[in-house]
Amino acid sequence: DVKVTQSSRYLVKRTGEKVFLECVQDMDHENMFWYRQDPGLGLRLIYFSYDVKMKEKGDIPEGYSVSREKKERFSLILESASTNQTSMYLCASADRRNTEAFFGQGTRLTVV
Protein backbone atom coordinates (compact mmCIF):
# COMPACT_ATOMS: atom_id res chain seq x y z
CA ASP A 1 0.00 0.00 0.00
CA VAL A 2 1.57 3.25 -1.11
CA LYS A 3 2.03 5.87 1.51
CA VAL A 4 2.56 9.58 1.79
CA THR A 5 2.66 10.57 5.41
CA GLN A 6 2.47 14.06 6.83
CA SER A 7 3.85 14.48 10.30
CA SER A 8 0.85 16.25 11.85
CA ARG A 9 -2.88 16.17 11.22
CA TYR A 10 -3.60 19.35 13.17
CA LEU A 11 -1.23 22.10 14.23
CA VAL A 12 -1.76 25.37 16.11
CA LYS A 13 1.06 27.90 16.08
CA ARG A 14 1.52 31.49 17.16
CA THR A 15 2.20 34.39 14.84
CA GLY A 16 5.93 34.78 14.23
CA GLU A 17 6.83 31.17 15.02
CA LYS A 18 8.93 29.11 12.65
CA VAL A 19 6.87 26.11 11.56
CA PHE A 20 8.04 22.86 10.02
CA LEU A 21 5.70 20.57 8.09
CA GLU A 22 7.18 17.21 7.24
CA CYS A 23 6.23 14.81 4.47
CA VAL A 24 7.62 11.34 3.86
CA GLN A 25 6.90 8.98 0.95
CA ASP A 26 7.88 5.35 0.59
CA MET A 27 7.45 4.94 -3.16
CA ASP A 28 10.91 6.11 -4.28
CA HIS A 29 9.24 8.96 -6.18
CA GLU A 30 11.35 11.65 -7.76
CA ASN A 31 8.75 14.44 -7.62
CA MET A 32 7.30 15.90 -4.45
CA PHE A 33 4.90 18.81 -4.02
CA TRP A 34 3.49 21.11 -1.38
CA TYR A 35 0.07 22.71 -1.86
CA ARG A 36 -2.27 24.71 0.25
CA GLN A 37 -5.96 24.00 -0.07
CA ASP A 38 -8.43 26.79 0.58
CA PRO A 39 -12.19 26.86 -0.12
CA GLY A 40 -12.93 28.46 -3.45
CA LEU A 41 -9.25 28.59 -4.40
CA GLY A 42 -8.55 24.88 -4.80
CA LEU A 43 -5.01 23.58 -4.53
CA ARG A 44 -2.32 26.17 -5.02
CA LEU A 45 1.23 25.03 -5.63
CA ILE A 46 3.73 26.41 -3.12
CA TYR A 47 6.92 24.55 -4.05
CA PHE A 48 7.89 21.35 -5.75
CA SER A 49 11.03 19.26 -6.02
CA TYR A 50 12.10 16.89 -8.78
CA ASP A 51 15.22 15.55 -7.09
CA VAL A 52 17.20 15.64 -3.87
CA LYS A 53 18.32 19.19 -3.04
CA MET A 54 16.40 20.53 -6.06
CA LYS A 55 13.43 22.86 -5.58
CA GLU A 56 11.27 25.02 -7.75
CA LYS A 57 8.89 27.80 -6.77
CA GLY A 58 5.24 27.30 -7.43
CA ASP A 59 2.60 30.00 -7.63
CA ILE A 60 2.61 31.19 -4.01
CA PRO A 61 6.11 30.69 -2.54
CA GLU A 62 6.21 33.92 -0.53
CA GLY A 63 6.63 33.26 3.18
CA TYR A 64 7.60 29.63 2.63
CA SER A 65 10.75 27.65 2.01
CA VAL A 66 11.40 23.96 1.48
CA SER A 67 14.08 21.39 2.09
CA ARG A 68 14.75 18.07 0.40
CA GLU A 69 17.87 16.51 1.84
CA LYS A 70 16.72 12.92 1.22
CA LYS A 71 14.66 11.54 -1.61
CA GLU A 72 11.83 10.36 0.61
CA ARG A 73 11.42 13.52 2.68
CA PHE A 74 10.17 16.97 1.66
CA SER A 75 9.78 19.63 4.33
CA LEU A 76 7.82 22.86 4.15
CA ILE A 77 9.00 25.70 6.36
CA LEU A 78 7.05 28.77 7.36
CA GLU A 79 9.82 31.17 8.31
CA SER A 80 7.59 33.44 10.40
CA ALA A 81 4.03 32.21 10.57
CA SER A 82 1.26 34.69 9.90
CA THR A 83 -2.50 34.40 10.28
CA ASN A 84 -2.99 34.41 6.51
CA GLN A 85 -1.09 31.13 6.38
CA THR A 86 -3.88 29.39 8.26
CA SER A 87 -4.88 26.67 5.82
CA MET A 88 -4.90 22.99 4.93
CA TYR A 89 -1.50 21.91 3.61
CA LEU A 90 -1.22 18.93 1.31
CA CYS A 91 1.91 17.05 0.34
CA ALA A 92 2.04 14.82 -2.72
CA SER A 93 4.57 12.66 -4.51
CA ALA A 94 4.75 11.25 -8.03
CA ASP A 95 7.16 9.47 -10.32
CA ARG A 96 9.32 11.42 -12.75
CA ARG A 97 6.52 11.61 -15.32
CA ASN A 98 3.79 12.53 -12.83
CA THR A 99 1.90 9.43 -13.88
CA GLU A 100 -0.16 9.64 -10.70
CA ALA A 101 0.20 11.91 -7.68
CA PHE A 102 -0.31 10.35 -4.25
CA PHE A 103 -1.41 12.65 -1.48
CA GLY A 104 -0.87 12.79 2.24
CA GLN A 105 -3.74 13.16 4.65
CA GLY A 106 -3.17 16.88 5.02
CA THR A 107 -2.11 19.14 7.87
CA ARG A 108 -4.61 21.69 9.07
CA LEU A 109 -2.52 24.58 10.33
CA THR A 110 -4.01 27.35 12.43
CA VAL A 111 -1.91 30.41 13.15
CA VAL A 112 -3.18 32.50 16.05
- With respect to other proteins, which residue has the nearer C-beta, 66 or 104? 104
Using a 10 angstrom Cβ sphere, with 0-12 exposed, 13-18 middle and 19 or more buried, the burial of residue 61 is middle
**CA Rg, the chain, in Å?**
13
Among 19, 21, 24, 31, binds other proteins (CB under 8 A): 31
Neighbouring-strand partners of residue 35: 45, 90
| Cβ at position 112, least distance to other proteins in Å | 25
Q: Per-residue contact track with other proteins, 37 to 56, x per CB under 8 A?
A: ---xxxxxx--x-x-----x
Query: Which candidate, 94, 30, 11, places its Cα nearest to that of 68?
Result: 30
Q: Give me the least distance between CB of 100 and other proteins, in Å please.
A: 5
**What number of H helices and E strands is found in the chain?**
0, 11
**Binding residues vs other proteins (CB under 8 A):** 30-31, 33, 35, 40-45, 48, 50, 56, 58-59, 90, 92, 94, 96, 98-101, 103-106
